Amino acid sequence: MKKARVKIDKDFVVSEIDKRIYGNFVEHLGRCVYGGIYEPSHPLADEEGFRKDVLKLVKDLDVPVIRYPGGNFVSGYNWEDGVGPREKRNTRLDLAWGTTETNEVGIHEFDSWLKKAGAEMMMTVNLGTRGADEARQLLEYCNHPSGTKYSDMRIKNGQKDPFNYKLWCLGNEMDGPWQMGHKTANEYARLAEETAKMMKMLDPTIELVACGSSNSEMPTFGAWEQEVLEASFDHVDYISMHQYYGNPENDTASFLANTVDMDAFIRTVVATCDYVAGKRKSKKKINISFDEWNVWYHSNNAPFERWSIAPPLLEDIYNLEDALLVGSMLITLIRHADRVKIANMAQLVNVIAPIFCKSDGEAWKQTIYYPYYYSSRYGRGVSLDTRIESPKYDCKKYTDVPYLDCVVVENRTEDSIDGDFSGLSIFAVNRGEEDLDTTISLGGYSDLKIEQHVLLEGNDMKLSNGLGNEVVKPKKGTDANLADGNLNIRIPSRSWQLIRLIK
Ligand code: AHR
């Protein structure tokens, strides 16, 4: 059996983990909102039309923050269409996805749903077809107490107290030619600078995310980040990253190695942030908002009726290997907790999502739900410097890929969301086809016992879950023991797992 070693030490801390890395994303796209979180005709809809079964699955994930309302959709969105009496709301064409938007759900309805879900808003402003003026008007509508045109409009629409949203994105994927109102780096840099400046003049307590590249393959990647940050540095707090991976060539070894790329992508963007800071002789740290990430490819090119309302779009049905990569992407985010402060799996329901539901029918958990669920619940606290010595492999896309991906989190009592415990949570993925005999040295930690060992594995990487048929779900792991300050564990081939050690 191949052998791997992992070392941590209580004193070797990467950073406190910002719980917002377990965020998610709801876009007015396909059946994410209509026929997903909201379906008034469903037998399980509450008094506001929100599906209680979907909400329960969302709440179990304990999602701290949700980005809204897009995505590509936001670049043509007029937020005013979604406020005020419903019967007077405009129906609009959404050019991003070729569908019709009824505006039945807007800011007020979504805010109410967010409160039920226990999540914070991450609002995205339209910098595609609109600009700084509309962004400040929206901010005034949401955050100003009263006595002005937009704050009074909010009050008239039934919301007396300001929503007081603290986290705002300055547009979406503005480097992408597919984006409505796509901009050159220079055009966007100036717009982001001025919009951010005005928004902070209005409410200095907010935090702002500038758009980075849509992915690491973009021809402008790197130069884009530099130019945007050089212009907007004084006014923004985060730069965004987006990345999706797929396995269209059915090459599992390369697919599972994609986090090697994600890791390098993060390091490059962090370096660019620090380069710009250095050039300005500034101590300010621009951090990362990884506000779209996931596996996405199964549903590419699925046909749908153009200009229909909430058609099934981007409805990826995930399999076991997708769950393993999602587990590894979460490990990557935790590993970079010193600079990645926000991350949003894209998206929440039906649209490339961990939760899937039938309109009129039941909701269920996709395979990727599980690593997300466990990471969100037990990946809170402190990210520890996790040194991995693992045998490596070469594949079509990458060389020198460690079979083992792993990160250790110290959970403190105050971080626990389901009971008082302190201890360690160890997240691991074995990318290889052989089991890994692994020793984890727990430097500085003693008197721990194994509390929980959850394992996601299977012989068929292509297995997925369906309605009433949740075949891919975690089981109890057994091959782990503690001896002499080490955790010894056999990590099965192509598996994801969590081992929780508590005092
Ligand atoms: O999440 C789906 C789409 O992916 C988003 O609308 C867009 O921002 C990205 O390209």
List 393's β-bridge partners, or say none: 401
Report the pocket of ligand 1 as residue ranges, CB < 6 Å. Answer: 27, 70-72, 172-173, 292, 346-347
What's the pLDDT at 413?
86
Distance 352 CA to ligand 1 centre (A): 10
* Residue 292 annotated to the active site: yes
How does DSSP assign 252-265, residue by residue?
HHHHHTHHHHHHHH
pLDDT-above-70 percentage for the chain:
100
The domain over range 2-9+386-502 is classified in CATH as 2.60.40.1180: yes
- The residue whose CB lies within 8 Å of the most ligand 1 atoms, and thus the one to mutate among 33, 178, 292, is 292
What's the pLDDT at 419?
72
> For residue 155, is pLDDT > 90?
yes
How does DSSP assign 377-414, residue by residue?
HHS-SEEE--EEE--EE--SS-SSEESEEEEEEEEPGG
Query: What does the mean pLDDT of the chain come to?
Result: 97
What's the pLDDT at 422?
86
> For residue 420, is pLDDT > 80?
no
pLDDT band at 254 (very low <50, low <70, confident <90, very high): very high
* Residue 173 annotated to the active site: yes
Report which protein residue has its CA nearest ligand 1's atom 2.
Answer: 71
Closest CA to 382 of 15, 72, 11: 15
Phi, psi of 162 (to 5 degrees): -60, 150
Q: Where in the chain is the domain with CATH 3.20.20.80?
A: 20-378
DSSP 312: -
CB 34 within 8 A of CB 352: no
What's the pLDDT at 416?
77
Q: Given 173, 193, 315, 410, which residue is catalytic?
A: 173
- Nearest atom in ligand 1 to 176's CA: 10
Distance 97 CA to ligand 1 centre (A): 10
Q: Pull the structure tokens for residue 48.
A: 């506001």
> Which of the pair, 162 or 468, is modelled with greater confidence?
162
- Nearest atom in ligand 1 to 70's CA: 6
Distance 379 CA to ligand 1 centre (A): 26
pLDDT band at 108 (very low <50, low <70, confident <90, very high): very high
- Nearest atom in ligand 1 to 72's CA: 6
Report which protein residue has its CA nearest ligand 1's atom 3.
Answer: 71
What's the pLDDT at 291?
98
> For residue 144, is pLDDT > 80?
yes
Distance 28 CA to ligand 1 centre (A): 11
- The owner of tokens 């959970």 is 411
The pLDDT tens digits for 336-365 are 999 999 999 999 999 999 999 999 999 999
Distance 262 CA to ligand 1 centre (A): 17
Q: Beta strand pairing status for 207-210 and 167-170?
A: parallel
Report which protein residue has its CA nearest ligand 1's atom 4.
Answer: 71
Report which protein residue has its CA nearest ligand 1's atom 6.
Answer: 71
Q: Given 134, 193, 292, 410, which residue is catalytic?
A: 292
Report pTM. Answer: 0.97
Report which protein residue has its CA nearest ligand 1's atom 8.
Answer: 71
Spell out the CATH class of 20-378. Answer: alpha beta
What's the pLDDT at 414?
86
Report which protein residue has its CA nearest ligand 1's atom 1.
Answer: 346
Q: Where in the chain is the domain with CATH 2.60.40.1180?
A: 2-9+386-502
What's the pLDDT at 417?
75
What's the pLDDT at 394?
98
Distance 244 CA to ligand 1 centre (A): 9
For 404-408, what is the mean pLDDT? 98
- The residue whose CB lies within 8 Å of the most ligand 1 atoms, and thus the one to mutate among 33, 72, 315, is 72
> For residue 263, is pLDDT > 80?
yes
pLDDT band at 418 (very low <50, low <70, confident <90, very high): confident
The pLDDT tens digits for 59-75 are 999 999 999 999 999 99
For 322-327, what is the mean pLDDT? 98
For 300-323, what is the mean pLDDT? 96
3-state secondary structure 99-151: EEECCCCCHHHHHHHHHHHCCEEEEECCCCCCCHHHHHHHHHHHHCCCCCHHH
